[in-house]
Amino acid sequence: MSQQNDLIEFGSENAYRLLVQRIKDYAIYMLRPDGVVASWNAGAQRFKGYTADEIIGQHYSVFYEEPDRLAGLPASNLALALREGKFEDEGWRVRKDGSRFWAHVVIDPIYQENGRLLGFAKITRDRTEQLETNEKILFMARHDAMTGLPNRVHFLERLDEAMFTLHAGEQQVAVVSIDLDGFKEINDAFGHGVGDQLLSELGKRLKNTVGEGETVARFGGDEFVAFKVFRQQRHLADFISRLQRALTTMLHLAQTDIIPGASLGVAMFPGDAADRAQLLNNADLAMYRAKKSMDEKICFYEANMDEASRARRAMARDIWTALERGEFFLNYQIQRAVSCDEITGYEVLLRWQHPVQGLIPPAVFIPVAEECGAIGAIGDWVLEHACREAAQWNLQPRIAVNLSALQLSNAGLVEKVRSVLAATGLPPQRLELEVTETAIIADRERALYLLQQLKAMGVTIAMDDFGSGYSSLETLRSFPFDKIKLDRSFISELETSQQAKAFVRAILALGHSLNVAVLAEGVETEAQRAILEQEGCQEGQGYLFGRPALLSALGELAQAVPPHEVPRRA
Question: Residue 155 is part of a domain; what is its CATH number?
Answer: 3.30.70.270
Bridge partners of 335, per DSSP, are 345, 541
pLDDT of residue 280: 94
Residue 467 forms part of a structural domain = yes
Question: What type of residue sits at position 369?
Answer: A
Same domain, 319 and 244: no
Q: How far apart are the first and last CA of the chain?
A: 134
pLDDT single digits (tens) 343-400 = 999 999 999 999 999 999 898 999 889 888 888 899 999 999 999 999 988 878 899 9
Q: Tell which of 301, 320, 353 closes a domain.
A: 301
Same domain, 209 and 267: yes
Average pLDDT score over the chain: 84
Residue 20 forms part of a structural domain = yes
pLDDT of residue 269: 93
**Is the pLDDT higher at 322 or at 1?**
322
Residue 402 forms part of a structural domain = yes
Same domain, 154 and 236: yes
Same domain, 332 and 275: no
Model confidence at 18, pLDDT cuts 50, 70, 90, reads low
Over range 338-347, report the average pLDDT. Answer: 90
The count of structural domains within the chain is 3
Same domain, 114 and 199: no
Q: Which of 98, 86, 99 is nearest to 128 (CA)?
A: 99
Which range is most confident: 2-16, 20-34, 478-492?
Answer: 478-492
Residue 568 forms part of a structural domain = no
Model confidence at 421, pLDDT cuts 50, 70, 90, reads very high
**How many alpha carbons lie under 13 Å from residue 322 in its C-beta half-sphere?**
28
Cβ atoms of 49 and 97 closer than 8 Å: yes
Question: What type of residue sits at position 127?
Answer: R
Q: Tell which of 301, 322, 345 closes a domain.
A: 301
Residue 121 forms part of a structural domain = yes
CATH of the domain at 60: 3.30.450.20
pLDDT of residue 291: 87
Q: Does residue 9 register a pLDDT over 60?
A: no
Query: DSSP 3-state assignment of 401?
Result: strand
Q: Does residue 134 register a pLDDT over 50?
A: yes
Same domain, 356 and 230: no
Same domain, 225 and 253: yes
What does DSSP assign to residue 216? E
Residue 567 forms part of a structural domain = no
Q: Tell which of 271, 301, 331 closes a domain.
A: 301
Cβ atoms of 251 and 258 closer than 8 Å: yes
Q: Which domain holds residue 186?
A: 144-301
Residue 383 forms part of a structural domain = yes
Portion of the chain with pLDDT greater than 90, in percent: 36
Write phi, then psi, for 2 (nearest 5 degrees). Answer: -75, 165
Over range 416-440, report the average pLDDT. Answer: 92
Same domain, 316 and 402: yes
Same domain, 297 and 251: yes
C-alpha to C-alpha distances, 167 to 27, 230, 270, 464, nearest whole angstrom: 49, 11, 11, 58
Q: Measured between alpha carbons, how far is 200 from 205 in angstroms, rounded to an integer? A: 9
Q: Does residue 296 register a pLDDT over 60?
A: yes
Cβ atoms of 179 and 263 closer than 8 Å: yes
Over range 8-32, report the average pLDDT. Answer: 61
Same domain, 413 and 488: yes
Q: Which of 443, 478, 446 is nearest to 463 (CA)?
A: 478
Over range 439-468, report the average pLDDT. Answer: 86
pLDDT of residue 190: 81
Q: What is the pTM (predicted TM-score) of this model? A: 0.54
Same domain, 425 and 370: yes
Residue 306 forms part of a structural domain = no
C-alpha to C-alpha distances, 523 to 283, 357, 496, nearest whole angstrom: 44, 30, 14
Lowest mean per-residue pLDDT among 211-225, 301-315, 328-342, 383-397: 301-315
How would you class 381 by CB atoms within 10 Å of its CB: exposed for 0-12, middle for 13-18, buried for 19 or more? middle
Q: Which of 266, 297, 236 is nearest to 175 (CA)?
A: 266
Model confidence at 1, pLDDT cuts 50, 70, 90, reads very low
Q: Does residue 131 register a pLDDT over 70?
A: no
Same domain, 80 and 206: no
pLDDT of residue 336: 93
